[in-house]
Homo-oligomer: A and B are copies of this chain.
Amino acid sequence: MTYQVDGIAALADPTRRAIFERLADRPFAVGELAKELPVSRPAVSQHLKVLKDAGLVIDRADGNRRIYQVDPDGVGALRAYLDKFWNRALTAFKDAVEKGGETLS
């Protein structure tokens, strides 16, 4: 489930990562985020859409405003994806060292 891979692409952009890092601490409304960032509010809105499509954040209506917060499931999926490579890279590296015995730069 949540075979959402391109959460990586979503976190590649610096502005988007800044938004995500703030949301990691506590929920935020769109305008609140825009005030703390050097970009306009529509830009924040577009970034939040990307993060939402990537499954990294979820949003809720609060009267006039929309509250965004991190989705632990999305972060967990990314973590699982990276863990897969972590393990594969470790075994591949170990095999290469055993067979080749060479040290790389």
Contacts and interface: CB of A to CB of B under 8 A. Distances in A.
Interface of A: 6, 8-9, 11-13, 17, 20-21, 23-27, 58-60, 69-72, 75-76, 78-79, 82-83, 85-86, 88-90, 92-93, 95-96, 102, 104-105
Contacts of A86: 72, 75-76, 79
A6 B14 CA distance: 9
Given A60-B105, A92-B25, A96-B27, A78 B70 contact: no
Contacts of A25: 88, 92
A89 B60 contact: no
B83 A79 contact: yes
Contacts of A78: 82
